[in-house]
Amino acid sequence: MNGPMNAAPVAAKKLKVATTSLAGCFGCHMSFLDIDERIIKLLDLIEFDRSPLTDIKHCGPCDLGLIEGGLCNAENVHVLREFRSNCKIIVAVGACAINGGLPAQRNHLDLRDILEEVYQTEAGLSHGGIPNDPELPLPLNQVHPIHEVVKVDYFLPGCPPPADAIWKLLTDLLAGRTPTLGHGLLHYD
Amino acid sequence: MNDTNNSFQLDGEDLPFTPGQTIMQAAKAAGVYIPHLCWHPDFPAHGSCKLCTVKVNGRFGSSCTMEAQAGMTVENRTAELDDKRRTMLQMFFVEGNHFCPSCEKSGDCALQATAYELKMMSPHFDMFYPDRPVDASHPDILLDFNRCIMCSLCVTASREVDGKNVFAMGGRGILGRRIHINSESGRLADTDFALSDRAANICPVGVILKKRKGFAVPIGDRRYDKTPINEQVKEPTA
Ligand code: SF4
Ligand code: SF4
Ligand code: FES
């Protein structure tokens, strides 16, 4: 585990990394934190920009953008575009960013029917009416993966990708290598 | 190459064969992996998925249907062929609904294991998200057509082994072609399909699933989680 990190040509300037969770469950971010104490080593080499971990709200120029989740509403699309225009490298992290994931299992259903069932008709749920606050981003008719909207440089499958796969991707990128995952690290589930 | 009686070259190695064997059969007997989805050792080749495409003396051909000939030169795991195979896999993934995290077949699935072997990192193309209703009518078996790759193995097994003809392939085009159930209602419950049928145990992906068997083996401990598919050529197939 130590090899790639020590061998990396450590830039004098730390790499700027931004992360976000779009239509995801934060599981990929939790798996990222599962790199455990390796994060201390990582913080010698990178600096977080916009991320749920920093609570910075907008993305500045970055070397790397890690995107968890697919696109289920208009805001997701705006955030993704902000990342793409600011990050040199975009990585789709996890099943939802890559193929829409479990949220896309709603794609064969009519959006209005879903909202009506959840907010108005289904027994046992509160019938407060379909939320219509202007602050709320409008849902898309279907959930889509991010590569259908912006160019994606690398993909890291998994639901979530294991911490060791995230670590492998980061150490490969920091060392200037094309990231690769061997058997056991490449998983779709 | 007169001294190559009953052997041919596969990726530069001599491979023996018995006359009448296909390239795929000879490779399997020798423990050499040629990626494939619709071929099953117990049945005649269907030749539909094209994943097993190799180059024979410089020309493309399906290794599951082409007879081995003495002295032929066959390319298999070259970058050119694996690139094409990966693209075909990506088409399989986008034309169905493959949500592996919620699929009971995950870890035991030939499509998924082949995609791991070919290092498929993304679906690459735009998703189709077709509407393919499930059939949960049968008391013991669930049919989730979202994951069907139209390999036809269930059709063949039900007809040839079980003598029942429960399944048939019908319709045209990516969104029209599908497996049909041979009953008045079109539902599996109205056939004599049974858990013990060969066809109930043949699907290489997560369509024909036994009810009440979910997670009997945990994710991570399943067949292809432990050993990659290219190292299981000689293992028995379902
Ligand atoms: S059938 Fe295979 S590839 Fe499709 S969702 Fe299930 S495990 Fe994944
Ligand atoms: S249901 Fe399974 S066995 Fe039948 S055609 Fe589809 S993928 Fe093949
Ligand atoms: S395995 Fe040969 S065409 Fe499908």
Q: Residue A144 falls within a domain, yes or no?
A: yes
CB-closest option in A101, A152, A157 to B99: A101
The number of folded domains in chain A is 1
In A, which residues are within 8 Å of B130 by CB distance? 108
B201 Cα to chain A: minimum distance (Å) = 22
Domain range B3-77, its CATH number among 3.30.390.10, 3.10.20.740, 3.40.50.300, 3.40.50.620: 3.10.20.740
Which residue ranges have their beta carbon within 6 Å of ligand 1?
Answer: A 188; B 98-100, 103, 105-106, 109, 111-112, 147, 205-206
Both tokens assigned to B220? 């991570």
pLDDT beneath 50: ranges in chain A: 1-4, 10-11
Query: B99 and A147 in contact by Cβ < 8 A?
Result: no
Query: B129 and A98 in contact by Cβ < 8 A?
Result: no
Q: What's the confidence (pLDDT) of residue B91? A: 97
Residue B77 neighbours by CB under 8 Å, 6+ apart: B11, B33
Q: Do B107 and B219 meet the contact criterion of CB atoms below 8 Å apart?
A: yes
E strand or H helix that includes residue A133: none
Domain extent for A166:
15-107+139-174
Q: What's the confidence (pLDDT) of residue A172? A: 96
Proportion of chain B in helix, strand, coil states, percent, rounded to 5: 25, 15, 60
ipTM over 0.90: yes
Q: Residue A62 falls within a domain, yes or no?
A: yes
Ligand 3 centroid distance, CA of B231 (Å): 19
Cis peptide before A160 (omega within 30 of 0): yes
Q: Residue A179 falls within a domain, yes or no?
A: no
Percentage of chain B beyond pLDDT 70 is: 98
Q: What's the confidence (pLDDT) of residue B34? A: 98
Q: Residue A143 falls within a domain, yes or no?
A: yes
Average pLDDT, chain A: 92
Q: What's the confidence (pLDDT) of residue A186? A: 97
Ligand 3 centroid distance, CA of B40 (Å): 9
Give the total residue count for chain A. Answer: 189
Question: Would you place residue B174 in the very low, low, confident or very high pLDDT band (cuts 50, 70, 90)?
Answer: confident
From the CB of residue A33, how many other CB atoms can be counted at a distance below 10 Å?
A: 11
Q: Residue A60 falls within a domain, yes or no?
A: yes
Q: Enter the pTM of the model.
A: 0.94
Q: Indicate the DSSP class of residue A4.
A: H
**Distance of alpha carbon B212 from alpha carbon A172, whole angstroms:** 42
Give the nearest ligand 2 atom to B153 CA: 3
Helix B79-95 and helix B110-117: axis angle, to 10°?
140
Q: Could you state, in order of their start, the residue ranges of all structural domains in chain B?
A: 3-77, 84-221
Q: What's the confidence (pLDDT) of residue B142? A: 98
Both tokens assigned to B181? 């159930």
Q: Indicate the DSSP class of residue B186.
A: S
Alpha-carbon Rg of chain A, whole angstroms?
18
Q: What's the confidence (pLDDT) of residue A12? A: 57
Answer whether B106 touches A (CB < 8 Å): yes
Instruction: Give me the CATH number covering residue A20.
Output: 3.40.50.700
Note whether B3-77 and B84-221 share their fold. Answer: no
C-beta B179 within 6 A of ligand 2 = yes
Span B168-174, average pLDDT: 89
- End-to-end Cα spacing for chain A: 23
Percentage of chain B beyond pLDDT 90 is: 92
Average pLDDT, chain B: 95
Q: Residue A113 falls within a domain, yes or no?
A: no
Question: Would you place residue B236 in the very low, low, confident or very high pLDDT band (cuts 50, 70, 90)?
Answer: confident
Question: Would you place residue B1 in the very low, low, confident or very high pLDDT band (cuts 50, 70, 90)?
Answer: very low
Span B29-44, average pLDDT: 97
Give the nearest ligand 2 atom to B149 CA: 7
Q: Do B18 and B27 meet the contact criterion of CB atoms below 8 Å apart?
A: no
Give the nearest ligand 2 atom to B202 CA: 3
In A, which residues are within 8 Å of B116 by CB distance? 183, 186-188
Q: What's the confidence (pLDDT) of residue B237? A: 76
pLDDT digits (tens, 9 = 90+) for A15-28: 999 999 999 999 99
Percentage of chain A beyond pLDDT 90 is: 85
Q: Residue A65 falls within a domain, yes or no?
A: yes
pLDDT digits (tens, 9 = 90+) for B63-79: 999 999 999 999 999 99
Both tokens assigned to B199? 């066809």
pLDDT digits (tens, 9 = 90+) for B179-218: 999 999 999 999 999 999 999 999 999 999 999 999 899 9
Residue A48 in 3-state DSSP? strand
C-beta B49 within 6 A of ligand 2 = no
Residue B88 neighbours by CB under 8 Å, 6+ apart: B49, B50, B51
Question: B84-221 domain in CATH 3.30.70.20?
Answer: yes
- What's the gap between Cα A128 and its chain centre? 31
